[in-house]
Structure 1
Amino acid sequence: MDRRRMTAVGVVVAAAGLTAAVTLPSFAGENATPPAGGPAGAKTTGGVAPEVVDAMSRDLRLSREQAVRRLTAERQATGTLGRLRAQLGADYAGAWLSADGATLTVAVADPAEAAKVEAAGAVPKQVRRGVSDLDAVKSRLDSAGRQATPDIAGWYVDVATNSVVVLARPGAEEAGRRFAATSGAPAGAVRVTTSREQPRPLFDVRGGDAYFINDAGRCSVGFSVVGGFVTAGHCGRQGDRTTGANRVAQGTFAASSFPGDDWAFVRTNNQWTPQGVVNDFNGGVAPVNGSTEAPVGASICRSGSTTGARCGVIQARNATVNYPEGTVTGLTRTNVCAEPGDSGGAWLSGDQAQGVTSGGSGDCTVGGVTFFQPVNEILQRNNLTLVTANGQSAPADPPAGGDATAPPATVAPTAPPAGGAETSVCTGDVSRTGAISAGRSQVQPDGRWYVTEAGAQSACLDAPDGARLVLELQRWTGAGFRTVARAATVDGIARLEADGAAGAYRYRVTAQSGSGEYTLAFSAN
């Protein structure tokens, strides 16, 4: 191979990756040319992209003809509504379409305005409050949002019932009513509804997903590990900041090596949850259940944020690649294609993690050769634990044909001495025990939370022998639980103290390595 033509996938990401990040793909294909006479699909789909019609048919259980008719009716209703809003002014109280999308209902606060609605072809409904009044009620709830407990999922304006709806978990309806009353909202304007919703930010860490470095270059997530994810070293240096594909702050490069090797570990913040899956770029995910090394000749697939999922075979191991930035050794060679922005992405053989994309030659139009950094070396060098879909601890497997260069991250739990359970050294007003394995997290007390007044809080965590656990105290902020104090075990014990405001709190226990039973004791003044 002509090494002068070899380039690192992602070396030019600062230029090519940024373009990809802001360019919206065409439904018909970026290089497609519409036939003479108009846009592709216009005759059969009313000018709507065929992919949109297909998605509506699938998810709304409509025929293609029904989907097109519904879209046409919705466009007409939108135009009618725009005119009515201007005519009704402060008496406008909201509008909604029927379940089949065929009927537009417009609510009015003044019955004298009903004739205008009828004249426009819509159905009038008289109500007490205009939409501006409802918005004002919701604004009161928004201002009091930090007083909402975690059992309140949210609130919204419901124009069909001319009220503001507060969603409360089963058994917390009275808490919802107290919250509404505390906000100063008129009692008749708020309706508390029971809901099992448990909304959370959808900030999962998945292999193959895009992330950005210092708000500039783009790379791809490799595999989730306890505390973050692994990726390519050439994507960033220690201390570089990352944001997710949604441009939300994600984490920091905690370790990076390039050239020589090509690996990195990004430690994520508490808004992101590492998951043991890889994005298959076909609407689903592929599970990761270990990191057993596949042999030369085995099939292998990779996932990256530029070209999605691509497959091929392993051609050779322990390859040295002479990149323009320097030599990298110990890579695995494949005949799979890749392009800038795919760097750092995940390589799977079946459900076993293999490595992260380093670089290559060619592209996914003409084909090429791509190299990956073996994942077990990354795990071993950084004492990381792979997060798996099956919930089992997954320390790095030793390389095929030799011993691991570092001991496994998981230590088997030690049984208590004969004659009874061992007494914990941790004491407090509240005590809980649990069993945990590497790579997993648990919330205490009992998967829920507690409420306390302002003041000092303290906790003690007694970990299983040989295990490393992290204890976090988290406070409910109205938008989610945020970590306010953190401590890791030293000689099997983690002690945490904090001085916090009044509110709802919980503890999160995460096993970075090891498994077994733990005891958590805590007190709050």
Structure 2
Amino acid sequence: MRLPLALRAAILASATLLPVTAIAQAAPHELLSTEKQAQQLPADLVEAISRDLKLTPQQYLERAELAQRLGTYADGLRTDRPDSYAGSWLGTDGVPVVAVTTTEAAQQVTKDGYATKMAAVSANTLESSLAQLNSWITGLPKDVSSQINSTSIDVLDNQIVIDVVNSPLGRALNLPTLLAQLKVVLTPGGPGPVHQGPQGGDTYITTAQPLSHDTTPEQIGVCSFGFNSVAGNGESYNISAGHCDPSQEHPAVGAGSPVYLPDYNDVSRSTQIGAFTNSAMGVDADGLDYSLIKLNNAGVAAGLDTPSVRGANGTTVTVTGTARPVVGAPICKSGQTSTFTCGLVIAESVDAPLHMEDGSTRLVRGFAGSTCTLSGDSGGAILTGTRALGVTSGSNSGGAPSCMEANLVLAPDGGTASIGIPIEKILDRANAKLGKDLRVRTASAPA
């Protein structure tokens, strides 16, 4: 049920080139040793980290934690100096960089131990311009707005990037000229534990109506479990993608569509482990794309009450906390089709249209990553280090038969790119709407 997203890797081509020439400072504060934690990562994740990131497991964990420290520092600087803060990211060499608009702010950042880069406009100015741009786009006729693939902020080059279809109509768009810093891109259309029970990243199927021998393959949606979670009253949930819920495609279905663990020998005999109790996406959900699957006794008994995410061959990663997206942070995603694939956060915020099977379009806002994501991976868990970062929403490689082929075909356009929905924003919105006091299950939190 993973639906194609009109996202192109070239949207963020400039953002993937992290300039080390502007970096002069060493990373602040010596990180605690992660050697023991690295030794506990499953072999399949270690392989993906080495293959996709060219990092050791210890470097992966250290950079993931450093990115979170950078994010916290950046929040404080933005609060104290809203007109000076212009963005932050982790360089390809693991050095944290903070962009500022004044020499005074640069001196403060350098004193605090971070590398600096001068920028023309503040992050607040860019975000205001992006909001104006998106407002202008939504007012265009549909045949015109369909020529715009996505909009995003490239913090490295301090500009807004708008990806426009390389067509006569796309090239003829009269783009707003008063926006700050606008760029237009034209694109062609280990020894870890092994568990047998379902976990984050594994397959689930869903239908609008209960499964039976009369259910056709076209009526069955396939997605991936995200993060196992627990509410304040002890109820168990799994957080996945909103577009996986049949009610998003067919509102008349209503809430409560069943979710099953597939029986590959006889799909009609698949075990129901819960049902969608809430899902939201697009403008009605602050741009998010998420769903809550309330687990029944069978789901809990199957093992969906554990803080774990699966890679290939049954190996698992234990989730230790939650995290926010930081440009340059290393990430690894787990999905039922492509298992572990790794990459970097290449944009903290991207707005992109998610095209539904009924012909409608929902504007989704999330972070962009360079991980390969295939059809069926939607809803799967995205980690940075061993922290929960988000769930997979869409990608530019969904129709590919394999990540190897996706990387070959998409290389001329900048490679694979995917949209993830930040887990902390999902929790904030879900709890505000439902009052569930929902939290991701982690090794340090009680079950």
TM-score range, shorter chain: 0.3 to 0.5
Q: Which structure shows the bigger proportion of residues in helix conformation? A: 2
TM-score normalised by length of structure 2: 0.42
Higher relative contact order (CA 8 A, sep 6+): 2
